[in-house]
Amino acid sequence: MADYDSPVKPLDYFSSLVQEEKEIPLFEAALSIAQDDDPAIDLNQSQLEMDKLAVRLKRRLPEDIAQIPKLRLLNNFFYQELGFGGNLNDYYNPENSYLHKVLASRRGIPISLAVIYMELASQIGLSVKGISFPGHFLMKLTVSSGDIILDPVNGNSLSREELEERLEPYFAQGRSPHEPSLASYLTDASSRTILVRMLRNLKALFTEHPHWQQFLNVQQRLVILLPDEMTERRDRGVAYANLDCPKAALNDIEAYLAECPQASDAVLLRQQVAHLREASRRLN
């Protein structure tokens, strides 16, 4: 278990967790996102709570239990006994993305529920993977007979027909024969992909109801996760500009323009750069 009590700054801690693609501890990294909302939260306590839940479940598992019966026991424990489910009455609350809050309330959105479910599954020997499906995060367990696709909100398995139906709204003119197959939407999501999706959910919320400090907190993590995606640098620069930090804003926006000089927003950003330079001079 990580030592959350050390004086490491939240962003430094997050950066240390996500350095290597294949070794990102998803639950720990996702849990740490909540430090942006409350730097004083006890991350150790949430990890201990997960470990205790896993111990409770392990005690009920017969030796040599097969994967599908084990999955059924996990589903019953997670959704029926513990009462996890979607926060349908307050779906767009940022707290639905903070894992310690979801653990406490038993309510979240598909991706946060999935991260907790997958951590619990891992601790009992089930390799449940995330699927970054359009509009609604899903999960997958591969067994000898094929893939079982699960809805993290209720644990229901989804048929091919149900999955196809869920895709339809994302094709305004209908699916053409040249569109990617359903299977292409059901590939395993990496830990990095899952963290990016969690953060972009928060980014969308803080964009719709602008809260620039929270937006900046999210952008700092996205830049760490996606150092080569200049649009994330640009958006961090925009946040800095709105927080009256012209030097930091200049650094990010000029880096974006240097890499993307013909971008559709380049003209507007160059105008903003002139204002930011003037604001920086006034600070000196």
Q: How do residues 87-96 score in pLDDT, each as one tens digit?
A: 999 999 999 9
Can you list the domains of the chain with their CATH numbers? 10-185 (3.10.620), 228-284 (no CATH)
CA distances from 193 to 27, 111, 200 (A): 13, 11, 10
Q: Would you place residue 173 in the very low, low, confident or very high pLDDT band (cuts 50, 70, 90)?
A: low
What is the structure's pLDDT at 177?
Answer: 64
User: Does residue 63 or residue 119 have the better pLDDT?
Assistant: 119
Name the least confident of 36-50, 131-145, 166-180, 260-274: 166-180
Q: Which residue matches tokens 């240390």?
A: 16
Q: CB atoms < 10 A from the CB of 67, how many?
A: 16
In this prediction, residue 4 has a pLDDT band, given cuts at 50, 70 and 90, of very low
Residue count of the chain: 284
Provide the b/e sequence for 10-28 (b: ≥16 CB within 10 Å): bbebbbebbeeeeebbbbb
CA angle 214/216/220 to nearest 5° reads 120
> Is residue 5's pLDDT more than 50?
no
* pLDDT over 90 (residue 202): yes
Query: Across all residues in the chain, what is the average pLDDT?
Result: 93
Task: Sort 135 into a burial class: Cβ within 10 Å, 0-12 / 13-18 / 19+.
Answer: exposed
pLDDT category at 130 given cuts 50, 70, 90 is very high
pLDDT at res. 8: 64
How confident is the model at residue 172, as a pLDDT? 63
Q: Look at residue 178 in the predicted model and tell me its pLDDT.
A: 67
Between residues 173 and 22, the one the model is more confident about: 22
**270: Cβ contacts below 8 Å, ≥ 6 apart:** 257
Helix axes 230-242, 246-259, angle to 10 degrees: 150
Cα–Cα distance, 117 to 131 (Å, whole number): 13
So what's the pLDDT on residue 234? Answer: 97
| pLDDT band per the 50, 70, 90 thresholds, residue 179 | confident
Mean pLDDT of 237-254: 96
Alpha carbons 193 and 137: distance in angstroms, whole number: 11
In this model, does residue 7 exceed pLDDT 80? no
Give the model's confidence band at 6: pLDDT under 50 very low, under 70 low, under 90 confident, else very high. very low
Tell if the pTM clears 0.75, that is, is over it: yes
Mean pLDDT, residues 176-188 taken together: 83
- Cα dihedral: 230, 232, 237, 240 (round 10): -160
> Does residue 78 have a pLDDT over 70?
yes
Phi and psi torsions of 108, nearest 5°: -160, -165
CB atoms within 10 A of CB 177: 4
For 29-42, how does the pLDDT look when each residue is reduced to its tens digit (9 = 90+)? 999 999 999 998 99
Q: How far apart are the first and last CA of the chain?
A: 46
More confident residue, 155 or 284: 155
pLDDT given for residue 2 in this prediction: 43
Query: What value, to the nearest 5°, has the Cα angle with vertex 119 and ends 192 and 26?
Result: 20
Question: What does the pLDDT average to over 53-81?
Answer: 96
